[in-house]
Amino acid sequence: MKGLVNAAIVGAAGRMGLEVTRAAQGREDVRIRAAVEQSGSPHKGRDLGELAGIGFLDVSIDDDLASALETVAVAIDFSSAAATETVARAAAATGTALVCGTTGIDDAALAAFETAAEKIPVLHAPNLSPGVAVTAALVERAVSALGPEYDVEIVEMHHRNKADAPSGTALYLAQAAMQGAGTPAASTLRLGRGKDAGLRSKSEIGVHAVRGGSVFGDHTVILAGAHDRIEITHRAGSRTLFAAGALRAAVFLADRSPGRYKMTDVLSAKE
């Protein structure tokens, strides 16, 4: 049985960083031992537990990323797309396993994950919910079984303050559909449709973003045939879902060999 896994949260004062802190309370397999924020953060020096509303944890928020990562086995990154590449490089330099749930990242960050994975275990997913990983597997299987006669459309909705659109999860589900089709290179993503969109092509996968209210994340994949329609939907009820998945992934990565991992690897691992 694994021992206690010490973890650091990068982006500790953000919504997800604080949610992970709260979700870690009471767990016997993982402890938050370090907390990192960007330079100049007004939260520097504050106790993470008090900021999260769960009482004193004796974990001060700092902006020294390298020093924080040197003290733990796993880093859980919910910082920002702009910081992701730096976090990946720092984790590789300190030999710290990396779980990243940041969305909207660029090609440089993706390349940094690949480089880091030569030295450390890396798991990046735009959605760390176990349910979303299962949803993606269902989508891939359904598209493969139904074939090209079924059109694929994806509709996602998030709260009004979500900056990126479409969501990383919607694009992740689109990728699962492409894998199911067996021809990802030939597929075309249509991000919304305007009046001049023209007729839908057979290779097209439509992805549509809706924003409003306080929705944590709803995603529906529609498989539309000539005579029936199948809808595969995942709805998140709270951010705790994502935080619990991040912690589960952190425990999983703690004793893994260097390389790239997926949430499906976490789900299939024996306890």
List, by residue number, the catalytic residues. 158, 162
Q: Are 126 and 110 in contact (CB under 8 A)?
A: no
Q: Are 20 and 32 in contact (CB under 8 A)?
A: yes
User: From the DSSP assignment, how many helices (H) and strands (E) are in the chain?
Assistant: 9, 12
Spatial separation of the C-alpha atoms in residues 206 and 72, rounded to whole Å? 42
Question: Which strand ranges, in their side-by-side order, compose the sheet holding 151-158?
Answer: 188-191, 204-211, 151-158, 218-224, 229-235
Spatial separation of the C-alpha atoms in residues 226 and 70, rounded to whole Å? 57
Beta 30-36 vs 97-100: how paired, if at all? unpaired
